Amino acid sequence: MCPKNLALHHPAAATLLKYASGGCPANTGKPWTREEMQAAIDRGPHVSALDPEAREQLQQEVQDKVKKGQARLVLWDEIRNQPPKELKISPIAMIPHKSRNFRAILDLSFRLRLKNGGFLPSVNENTMLEAPAGAIDQLGHSLSRLIHAMAEAGPEDKVFMAKFDIKDGFWRLNCKEGEEWNFAYVLPQAEGEPVRLVVPSSLQMGWVESPPNFCAASETARDVAEQYTETPIGSLKDNKFVDYAIGNETVKALPKSVAENEFRYLEEVYVDDFMALAIAVSQEQVRHVANALLTGIHDVFPEDDVDEDDPISLKKLQQLEGQFALHKELLGFDFDGVLKTMILSTKKREILLATLHKWIRSASRSQMGIPFQEFESVTSKLRHAFIAIPAGKGLMTPFNKLLQLRPPVVYLHRNKPLLQVIKDCRDLLREATKSPTPCQELVLGETDFVGVKDASIHGVGGVVIGDKEACIPTVFRMEWPEDIKQEVLKTNSGQKGKITNSDLECAGLLLLWLVMEQVCSPKPGANFALFSDNSPTVSWANRMAARGSLVAGELLRALTLRMKTKQASPLTTMHIAGQENAMTDIPSRSFGKLLDRVPTVLRNSYAGDFRLADAGFRDGRVASTTQTREAYWASWKAYVQPLGVDPHLQNTPFTEAVRALTGFAARVRIGGFGRGRTVKADTVSTAISAVGKEISLASGHNPTKLKFSDKLLPRIAQMLDGWRKDDEPVMKKLPVEVDIPEYLVKIGLAPEATEMMKASGDLALVAYYYLLRIGEYTRGSSPRSAKKQTVDYRMRDVVFFGIDEYGGLKQISRKEPDEVIMTAQCATLRLDNQKNGWRNVCVNHHHNGDDIFCPVRALGRRYNHIRKRMQNNWNTPLSTVWDEKGKKMHVTDKIIRQGLKMAATVLEYPEHRGIPVERIDTHSLRIGGANALHLAGYSDREIQKMGRWRSDTFKEYVREQLSNFSEGMSRSMSKKFEFVNIEGGVCHDISRTVMGMEYNNGVTEVAATA
C-alpha cells in the first residue's frame, strides 16, 4: 500500500504515507516474560490447525509468504535466551472457507491459562487503540447505502452492479519495524521437530486494529474513485482490468454513447470489497465508472506488473465478480437491478433453511436439544437474513429471551413459542425465495399516513389521518374484554398478572395498524408513522422485538406479518408526550366511570386545573435557554427578510428553506450575529436548533429536522460535520489538588488580607471538598448567569452539627455564638435547585482534624462573617462579602478563576505537575475533589452522591444518612496525591524537575523528632 496521484491530495494521505514508509503501529501493551512466552509456545496452535490437511495447507501458505517477504520463520531455540521485547505468541486456527478448504486466522483474542491459575491477557485485550476511527465507522452503513440506492431508482431504471476484491488485503499493510513480533505463532509440525515461530510482517486478520487501519486505506481509495468518476466521460485512461468489467451482454446491449452523459452512481467499500452501482444508459458510462473505481484502487494499492500479484484479485475478475451486470451478489445478498429487489444469497439461504428444517424435525421426533453455541450462531445469521425480510424482525423476541438466559442446550419441544417462530422464519425464507423483497419496502420514506393511539386499562382509542396521501380522517375506540382488564389490575396491584400496561399499549399499536389497513387502503411500499405515549411500546416497535415481555413479542409478531401482507415500508414509530396526547387519551378512557362521575357544573373547574398544569409546563423552561433562543430567532428573522422568505417557512419550497437555513448557519459561523469571530460548529447547531424550536412551537413542525425524527436534515448535518472537522479540539480543564484552595486560604490569613481574599479562599476550599459547581457558591460575572437554573447557596441552606452527650450528632442552633459554630463536627449544605433540576439535595462533610484547612471550619468562617451583617435575612447568599468599610459585595466566578490560576503559578503546577495554568479553571476544583476521592478509594456511588451527579438509583433524603455515608471523607480528601498531568510533556519537560524533587515519605518533622 502506497498512495500516489490523486490519493496524495486526500486528507488521509499523510497517515497512509506514514504507514507505507514506517509501517502501522502495533502497541500491544507490556512485554511478556520468558516464562509467559514459553507457556504460549507449549500451548501451541489451535486444534483445528493440527488436522493433517489443514497443517499441510498452512505450511504451504507460510512458505509462499516467506518467499514474498511477508513473513519469516524463526527457530525458538535460537532466540529463547534473548527473545525480542515485543514477542507475543497466539494460537493459529484453520477455519473452513467457501473458496478454499481452510482459511488461517490468528486467534489474537485467546487468553492463555497459566500454571498458577491466572490468565495471560490476549494481544487484543492489551492493544492500545490508535488507528483512525473515522473510516471504520462507515462499515455499518455500506449495505444500508446500497439498499437506499436501489430504493431510489425509478421503475424503468436499470442498475448495473460490479464488485472488486483486494487480494490478501491486510497483508498489504506492514507492521512498524520490530512490532511484527506481536503477531507470532507456532507453526504446526510433526511431533519431534524443533519449534518454529512464524513472524508475519503485515497486519493480521483477527487483530482488533487491522480493520480500522486497512479501512483508512480502502475508504481513501473509494473517495479517490468517486473523484475520478466526477471527471468528464472519456477523460480517464483505460485500466488494464477494465475489459473484465464491461464484458456482460447486458452492457454490450447498451448504445456506445448518448448525448446526455449525466447519470447516477454509487461507489462503496466494505473492508476489502469495492462495489459500484450505476444507472447507466450507455457503454461509455459503464466503462467510465469501471475505470474510475479501478484507478482509485490502484492510486492507493499500486498495481503490479504481474496480474496474478495485483492488489485487485485477478481470480475474482475471472470469476466475473467484477463484471457489471443487472444481477449481483453484494455483501451476502442477491440484488436484482431490474426489479430493484434483494434476498439473502442462495447458498446462505439454503444452509439456513436446512438448519431450521433439521431443528423442526428433531423437535417433533426426539427430545434432543440444540447446543447453545449453534443456536446463537444461527440466530445471528437469521438477523442478517432479515435485513431483507423486515417482517422477520418481529419474530426474534423468543430468540432474545434465550440469548439472555444462555442455557447450555436449547430444547424446542419444551418451548412451543420458540418452535412456532422458527417455523415462521422458515416460511418467510421460503416465501422470499419465490418473491424477493423490493428495496423500497426496506427504507423509510416520506410519510403517507399518520396514526396516533393511546391505551388505558379501560380500552384503546386513536386517530388516523392522511399526510402525503389522502384518507378519511378517522377516530376509533375499543373497550378491552373484562378478563384483560382483570389481568392488568393484578399486575398493577403487585400480583402475578400476565399483562402489563405496556402490553396494552403494544396491543393498541397493533389495533391502530389494523384500523389503518381498512381506512387507508395502502399501496405497496406505503410509509406509515405511528405515535404512542408509551416509551416501551415505541422502543419495541422500532426494534420490532421485546426482550422482557412475551406478550409484546407475540403482538409484534402479528404486526410484522400483517405489514408483510400489505408490503408496507418500515414503520416510523415516535413517542408523543402524554400531556400532548389528549386527542387519543379521551377515546381510550371513554369507557371508564371516572368522567361519568364528574358533574357538568364542575367541568370548568377541571379545565382550570389542566390550564394550571400547562402553565407549569411552560414555566419549566430555563430563562437563559429561552433568551438564547429568542436572540437567535430575532437574528433569523432579520436574515430571511431580504430574501423574502417567511421566517416560519410556511409554504416555502424545500430547497429554498434548506438554502436559507444553511446560509443563516454560515452567517452565524463567521460571527455575523455576534462579535465578528468564527464560532464553533456546536454554537451554529444551537442557533439552528433555536430556529427550529421556535417554528415548531408555532406550527407543530420543525423544518430543520427530518419528519418524525430528531435528526437534522442531511444537508445541515453534513455541513455541521464538515465544520466540526475544522474546529480546534476542546481542551478539557484539568483537576487541581487541595494545595490550591489551601494556598488561597493562607493568603486570606495574612494580616494585610482583605475580606474578599478571605472569602474567596474559604469558598474555594468549600467548593473543593463539597464538589460544588461554580454557580453554587459565587455570583456570575455576566448578566446571563442570573438566568441559569442553578442557584447559589444561602445562609438558610447551611446547618452545623455538634456531638451530644451520647456521642451522636445534634444540630447546632443558628443562634449559637461564633465559638460554638467553629467547634462543629460536620456541616450540611442543602441546595434548593441545581443544573440537573435536582432540588433540596444535601451534602455533608465532617471536620478533617485541621482547624484552618477544613471545609467545615471554612464554612463556619463564612457563616459567622455573614451572620453579623445580614440583618436576619437568611436568604443571603454565601458569596456575600462586606468589606472593611461595610460595603456589600459578592465573590464572583472571575475572582475564583483568577485566584486558582495565581495559586497554580506560585505552586509551580506547570513545572511540577505538567498542568498548564490555562487549563485550570473554576471547574478544576470540582473535578479535583472527585479525583481525590477516587484515589482515596471511595466508590463511584459515594462520589456520585457527594457530587450530586444525578442518577435514577441515587437520591438524597435526610442529612443523617448523608452524614453516615460521608464520615471521614473530608479527612481522606485532605491527603495530597501529587497530581501530574501525563499530557504535560507536550508543553513542558517535567522529568528532571520531578526526579530532582526531595522524596517525601509522609513523616512530618515533628513525628521524626519524636
Q: What is the pLDDT of residues 911-964, one digit of tens each?
A: 888 889 988 998 889 888 888 888 888 887 788 878 777 654 333 322 333 344
What confidence tier does 738 reach under pLDDT thresholds 50, 70, 90? very high
Please state the rounded mean pLDDT for residues 984-999: 49
Please state the rounded mean pLDDT for residues 172-181: 91
Amino acid at 356: L
pLDDT value, residue 587: 58
pLDDT value, residue 473: 92
Range of weakest confidence among 648-662, 793-807, 826-840:
826-840
pLDDT value, residue 626: 66
Q: What is the DSSP string of 440-457?
A: GGGS--S-SEEEEEEE-S
The yes-or-no verdict on residue 212 having pLDDT over 60 is yes
* Residue showing cell 472488486: 164
Helix (H, G, I), strand (E, B) or coil at 528: strand
The yes-or-no verdict on residue 395 having pLDDT over 50 is yes
Please state the rounded mean pLDDT for residues 71-83: 92
Contacts of 271 (CB under 8 A, 6+ apart): 139, 169, 211, 214, 215, 218
Amino acid at 833: N
The grid coordinates of residue 759 equal 472569602
Residue 336 parent element (H or E): strand 333-336
The yes-or-no verdict on residue 221 having pLDDT over 70 is yes
Strand ranges for 793-907 from DSSP E: 798-803, 809-811, 826-831, 841-846, 880-882, 888-890
Please state the rounded mean pLDDT for residues 67-90: 92
What confidence tier does 781 reach under pLDDT thresholds 50, 70, 90? low
pLDDT value, residue 960: 35
What confidence tier does 880 reach under pLDDT thresholds 50, 70, 90? very high
The grid coordinates of residue 185 equal 505463532
Contacts of 964 (CB under 8 A, 6+ apart): none
Contacts of 945 (CB under 8 A, 6+ apart): 843, 954, 956, 962, 965
* Alpha-carbon separation of residue 580 from 454, 512, 591, 700, 702 (angstroms): 11, 18, 21, 11, 16
What does pLDDT average to over the chain? 84
The yes-or-no verdict on residue 792 having pLDDT over 80 is no
Please state the rounded mean pLDDT for residues 683-705: 87
The yes-or-no verdict on residue 864 having pLDDT over 90 is yes
Please state the rounded mean pLDDT for residues 315-331: 93
pLDDT value, residue 493: 67
pLDDT value, residue 617: 45
Half-sphere exposure of residue 12: CA atoms within 13 angstroms, side-chain side: 26
The CA distance from 419 to 407, in Å, is 16
The grid coordinates of residue 257 equal 454513447
- CB atoms inside a 10 Å sphere around CB 489: 13
Helix (H, G, I), strand (E, B) or coil at 479: strand
Beta carbons of 800 and 815 less than 8 angstroms apart: no
The CA distance from 564 to 561, in Å, is 5
If we measure between CA atoms, which residue out of 803, 775, 804 comes closest to residue 923? 775
Please state the rounded mean pLDDT for residues 551-571: 88
What confidence tier does 661 reach under pLDDT thresholds 50, 70, 90? very high
The yes-or-no verdict on residue 784 having pLDDT over 50 is no
Please state the rounded mean pLDDT for residues 173-187: 92
The CA distance from 728 to 679, in Å, is 11
pLDDT digits 0-9 by tens, 918-928:
889 988 898 88
Please state the rounded mean pLDDT for residues 778-786: 59
Percentage above 70 pLDDT, the chain: 87
The CA distance from 249 to 768, in Å, is 76
Which residues make beta-bridge pairs with 530?
451, 573
pLDDT value, residue 630: 78
pLDDT value, residue 592: 46
What's the gap between Cα 762 and its chain centre?
A: 41
- CB atoms inside a 10 Å sphere around CB 101: 12
Please state the rounded mean pLDDT for residues 259-274: 90
pLDDT value, residue 459: 86
Range of weakest confidence among 18-32, 86-100, 239-253, 982-996:
982-996
Beta carbons of 865 and 847 less than 8 angstroms apart: no
What confidence tier does 511 reach under pLDDT thresholds 50, 70, 90? very high
The yes-or-no verdict on residue 385 having pLDDT over 90 is yes
pLDDT value, residue 1008: 37
Range of weakest confidence among 345-359, 389-403, 985-999:
985-999
What's the gap between Cα 936 and its chain centre?
A: 31
* Residue showing cell 389521518: 465
Amino acid at 6: L
The CA distance from 590 to 600, in Å, is 16
**Phi, psi angle pair for 333, to nearest 5°:** -125, 145
Percentage above 90 pLDDT, the chain: 45
The CA distance from 727 to 841, in Å, is 38
The yes-or-no verdict on residue 840 having pLDDT over 90 is no
What confidence tier does 832 reach under pLDDT thresholds 50, 70, 90? low
Contacts of 801 (CB under 8 A, 6+ apart): 809, 810, 811, 812, 824, 825, 826, 827, 828, 963
pLDDT digits 0-9 by tens, 445-464:
889 999 999 888 888 889 99
Beta carbons of 447 and 468 less than 8 angstroms apart: yes
Which residues make beta-bridge pairs with 809?
803
Residue 164 parent element (H or E): strand 160-165
The CA distance from 268 to 889, in Å, is 64
- Which long-range CB contacts under 8 A does 982-985 form with residues at least 24 apart? 982/914, 983/914, 984/910, 984/913, 984/914, 984/915, 984/916, 985/914
Helix (H, G, I), strand (E, B) or coil at 197: strand
The grid coordinates of residue 504 equal 396494552
The yes-or-no verdict on residue 515 having pLDDT over 90 is yes
The yes-or-no verdict on residue 741 having pLDDT over 90 is yes
pTM: 0.57
If we measure between CA atoms, which residue out of 631, 623, 626 comes closest to residue 789? 623
Q: What is the DSSP string of 99-157?
A: SSSEEEEE-TTPPEEPTTS-EEPPHHHH----S-STTGGGGGGHHHHHHHHHHHS-TT-
Nearest-10 Cα torsion for 129, 133, 137, 142: -110
What confidence tier does 318 reach under pLDDT thresholds 50, 70, 90? very high
* Alpha-carbon separation of residue 605 from 593, 600, 601, 618, 671 (angstroms): 19, 10, 8, 20, 51
If we measure between CA atoms, which residue out of 889, 822, 900, 806 comes closest to residue 854? 822
The yes-or-no verdict on residue 893 having pLDDT over 60 is yes
More confident residue, 697 or 166: 166
pLDDT value, residue 835: 47
- CB atoms inside a 10 Å sphere around CB 828: 23
The yes-or-no verdict on residue 694 having pLDDT over 60 is yes
The CA distance from 20 to 176, in Å, is 10
